[in-house]
Structure 1
Amino acid sequence: MTDPILLVEDDNSIAAVIVSALEGEGYAVDRCAAIAARDRLLATQRYACMLTDVMLEDGDGIATLGKVRGSHPAMPIIILSAQNTLDTAVRASENDAFEYFPKPFDLDELIRAVRQAAGASSGNVAEGQPDAGNLPLVGRSQAMQGVFRMITRVLRNDLTVLVLGESGTGKELVAEAIHELGARKTGPFVAVNAAAIPRDLIESELFGHEKGAFTGAVGQAIGKFEQANGGTLFLDEIGDMPLEAQTRLLRALQSGRIRRVGGRQDVAVDVRIIAATNRDLAPMIASGRFREDLFYRLNVVPIELPPLRARREDIGALARHFLVLAEGEGLPRRQIDEAAVSLLEQQPWRGNVRELRNLIYRLALLARNEVIDVELAREVLGKEQGHSATERSSSVDRAVMDWIEQHHPAPGALYRAASAAFEKPLFEHALRVTAGNQLRAAELLGINRNTLRKRLGELGIVAEAFSARA
């Protein structure tokens, strides 16, 4: 006969639902609401697994798990919590929780976890808790809970992680959290943005070079792989890496060895790889712009970050978090009222969390009183947005339709003709506002500088012609 399940939960309504569901599955359930009662039951009874809330009548359910592990080292523990922060998820993981469920949870998923736990044995002893209280990842939304759970599952291993998400969602923060909370936290964390490195320098940047390897190589240089030895290498915007560098990166990931540009000997490196991209890599693979074998090497554990518009309930917490950061950086102490938060929750946030952070810093600077009110928020948002999103969209739609009606591209040539027609003024605008600086223009457009140069030649645009038009 299967041992009973122990439920430690002080919310009577939640406890009743869980007990009913588990008993319906044929389990016997003992339920208590406090740590003291839990310890009395564990002293006299063996349990198949334990489900425990975090905040109980007489203390923190996670903080006291060391005692439980001492007497029941093989008993799987499932943690339930309304404290839906990355801190809680990490504490659950570091205390060898079999599973962690933020409230509200899916009852079917909980039952499946109990079925698995009832026949499992963790057999591990708690190893202590990391200092996760100051981590920059903020959010209690269901969307972020999935992210937190995935982060906790990769802390004790060196599996390669691919972080996916739009620009501004916080992909580097995820990489930093995995490093700071994981086994490599005492090693270096090295970040490199593949989109910001010129094509002809990226291999040298990643793998280093020997003296004389190319013009300008006046001495030996250590690349990012060697700089990150013993720690974590974060490869941001991996989708922008040229194919030649992709090939060498794949070889390094497969062998754990790199060779400096111009070098003759391989160098062993011990590095955890976390990559990130805001691109959809599938069409890039299909068109031959991204190596499929490299994708599978990187996509061992994918973590997808939701856009801010998919987690609007986190905006208030994020705004208050950024106000604390702003104060730490010398801005006045500010609070934000609920009406202003409500207004922020209605915005499109195309720039995601990064855009929200910049706005909050601006509001903290401009506010005349300690509390940021809805009037100031509306004023600043109005100045930034100018026309409404609908008006902007309608204007672009009309321009495209007018062009199509005037030029009548041949069947099968519509996309190519329209792209070329609208790409030229876009590039010219970027050069105009950057006074012909191709590096800054490429950054503004979000493309590689070599790609910009190539397209300028194809479109017949002379960058120097814009140098006097700042």
Structure 2
Amino acid sequence: MTKRILLVEDDASIALVITAALEAEGFEVDQCDSIAGRDRFLAGYDYRLLLTDVMLTDGDGIETLGPVRDAHPALPIIILSAQNTLDTAVRASDTGAFEYFPKPFDLEELVRTVTQAIGKAEAAAPDLAQDVPQGLPLVGRSAAMQAVYRMITRVLRNDLTVLILGESGTGKELVAEAIHQLGNRRSGPFIAVNTAAIPAELIESELFGHEKGAFTGAVARSIGKFEQASGGTLFLDEIGDMPMQAQTRLLRALQSGRIRRVGGRDEITLDCRIVAATNRDLLPMIAAGTFREDLYYRLAVVPIELPPLRERADDIDALSRHFLARAAAEGLPRRQLTAAGADLLARQPWRGNVRELRNFIYRLALLARDEVVDAATIEPLLSQTDSGVPLSLHAETVGGGIVQGPADIASAVDQWLFANAPAPGTVYDAALAAFERPLFLNILAQTGGNQLRAAQILGINRNTLRKRLVDLAITPDEMPKRD
């Protein structure tokens, strides 16, 4: 990431000298001369360090640092002052400033201290935007995503309950995984459960477990999600779609910190962090009586709101190149975007957010004819989407491809026949075995894991769908989840 510094200094000659010295060492420096200017700059960019004078054109630079500290707790601050008194030094120390330089100061020492302050801050709290651990593709350096990263860093060293809000496809589960894998509980399990997909009559058994004989069909003890997540994190996805009765049972568990298996007598103390997510606006639901207000406040101790892709268009280029690299690593042809191609992608609405962009990029990697992809190649593929609803489905597919529609299905069948050459009389059974499993996974991906909608699209009964999922050995871990 760019080593960008904000310098707040009302003496133009001093500001010029400091800026020149820092830029000579490879820093980028933004400069202003007031508290108001400082706040505008800090709101628009994620700086690596704040270098500020005390007496500014519109007030005291130290007295107004409180809100800066609240909004940017990891930002190192160096204070400059011509008021060379003990009181000023003490006030600077009380703000938690990394260092205090009385004027006149040694310019070389100031530059060294700036470098040390940034290095120490990076070592103490790695920049998620710059160095996201493998497997956590949180991509983007826009101001909106920087705000998300800052919120993530604030919850890593505690077990506060987090509620992740955002439209479908914005990557809520990725944020939950980041909180787990970078936090105190990373050595424990990460258990994700789509609460909307569990029938109301099974929610208690699914979450809390049950004892043998607790109900018809309970032939053995079952450990629920809360116990499975012991020592780690329990991610409750689509919490806004949870039935009211289940909300009550969940609230009781969160309030008491204890659960009891269905049919059991012993209480079990919970030892997991709770992270929940929803694409629903819960406040109107509370007003309408469809979501419990007390549960909302129990979950939203720390809310993190993910921006839709249309509000972080600056990240589309980085996301596109990231997904192209992932597609190549997964066996699809390697592609490169031209500047015109990247610009065309950045101007699309992407109503399905990051998920839609990801799916389109995989489709592009599969169908483009040349390694270098320009706007002329991208444009006809964009025209095949339906009102912004993504047709590309990133799931297990025949031959590693992505089945989109009739043309792609025909192409996939041709490729499969050519590659497998099944013996006469065995084509139907062999093709059914090859295509049925990826077809189900594709449809489930399209519906965000909603089995009822998937069954409707396939034109089969929901019970039939469930039976086929079992027959095809499609496990819950393989089933796509709603972001």
TM-score (norm 2): 0.61
CA distance in 2, matches of 1:266, 1:345: 53
SS in 2 for 1:14: strand
Find out whether 1:94 has 2:115 as its counterpart. no
Count of aligned pairs between the two proteins: 330
1:437 partner amino acid:
N
Q: Percent identity?
A: 60
Alignment of 1:137 with 2:185, yes or no, is no
Corresponding residue of 2:339: 338
- Aligned-residue offset at 1:384: 1.8
CA 1:21–1:380 in structure 2 vs 1: closer, same or farther (change >3 Å)? farther
Q: Give the aligned partner of residue 314 of structure 2.
A: 313
Q: Which moved more, 1:16-25 or 1:146-155?
A: 16-25
**Structure 1: which amino acid aligns with 2:350?**
W
SS at match of 2:383: helix
Q: After TM superposition, list the pairs within 5 Å mapping 1:256-335 onto structure 2.
A: 256-335=257-336
Alpha-carbon spacing, 1:58–1:302, altered in 2? closer, same or farther (3 Å): same
Which residue type is aligned with residue 50 of structure 1? F
Offset at residue 271 of structure 1 (A)? 0.8
2-structure distance, mates of 1:143, 1:247: 34
**Which residue pairs with 1:369 in the alignment?**
370
- Give the C-alpha shift of residue 327 in structure 1: 1.4
Question: What is the correspondence of 1:140-179 to structure 2 with a 5 Å cutoff?
Answer: 140-179=141-180
**1:63-88, CA deviations, whole angstroms, 9 ceiling, x for partnerless residues?**
9745xxxxxxxxxxxx6xxxxxxxxx
1:287 CA displacement: 2.2
Specify the alignment match of 2:461 in structure 1. Answer: 437
Letter in 1 for 2:334: R
What does residue 445 of structure 1 align with? none
**Which residue number in structure 2 is paired with residue 416 of structure 1?**
none
What is the CA deviation profile of residues 178-203 of structure 1, one whole-angstrom value per residue up to 9, with x for unaligned ones? 11111111111100001121222121
Tell me the residue number matched to 1:453. none
Q: C-alpha separation between the residues in 2 aligned to 1:217 and 1:322? A: 44
CA contact (8 A) 1:364 1:372 kept: no
1:365 Cα offset (Å): 0.9
Which secondary structure does the structure 2 equivalent of 1:169 belong to? coil
Is the contact between residue 200 and residue 245 of structure 2 (CA under 8 Å) also seen in structure 1? Answer: no
Matched, 1:229 2:230: yes
Q: How does 1:175-194 map to 2 (within 5 A)?
A: 175-194=176-195
- Quote the offset at 1:279 in angstroms: 0.5
**What is the Cα deviation at residue 437 of structure 1?**
2.6
Amino acid at match of 1:435: G
Greater mean alpha carbon deviation, residues 144-153 or residues 282-291: 282-291
Residues 431 and 222 (structure 1 numbering): CA distance in 2 closer, same or farther, change over 3 Å? closer
Q: Which amino acid aligns with 2:245?
A: E
Let me know the Cα RMSD of the aligned residues. 3.8
Kindly report which structure 2 residues correspond to 1:203-218, keeping only aligned pairs within 5 A, or say none: 203-218=204-219
Distance 1:62 1:214, change over 3 A: farther
Report SS of the residue matched to 1:365.
helix
Aligned-pair distance for 1:332?
1.8
With normalisation by structure 1, the TM-score equals 0.62
Q: How far apart are residue 228 of structure 1 and its match?
A: 0.3
Structure 2 CA distance for partners of 1:165 and 1:388, relative to 1, 3 Å: closer
The answer as to whether partners of 2:132 and 2:138 remain within 8 angstroms in 1 is no
CA drift of 1:9 comes to 4.9
- Structure-2 change in CA distance of 1:168 and 1:27 (3 Å): closer
- Give 1:339 deviation, angstroms: 1.2
SS of the residue aligned with 1:383?
coil
- 1:290 match: secondary structure: coil
Unaligned runs of 5+ in 2: 1-8, 10-17, 39-50, 63-77, 79-85, 101-109, 391-451, 467-483
Contact conserved, 1:252 with 1:258, CA < 8 A, in 2?
yes
Residue in structure 2 matched with residue 14 of structure 1 by the alignment = 30
Residue 116 (structure 1) aligns with: none
Corresponding residue SS for 1:303: strand
Q: What's the CA shift string for 1:25-53, capped at 9, x where partnerless?
A: 4459xxxxxxxxx9xxxxxx97631389x
**Any conservation in 2 of the 1:434–1:440 contact (CA below 8 Å)?**
no
Which residue of 79, 98, 108 corresponds with 1:50? Answer: 98
- What SS does the aligned partner of 2:98 have? strand
Instruction: Letter of the 2:458 partner, please give it.
Output: T
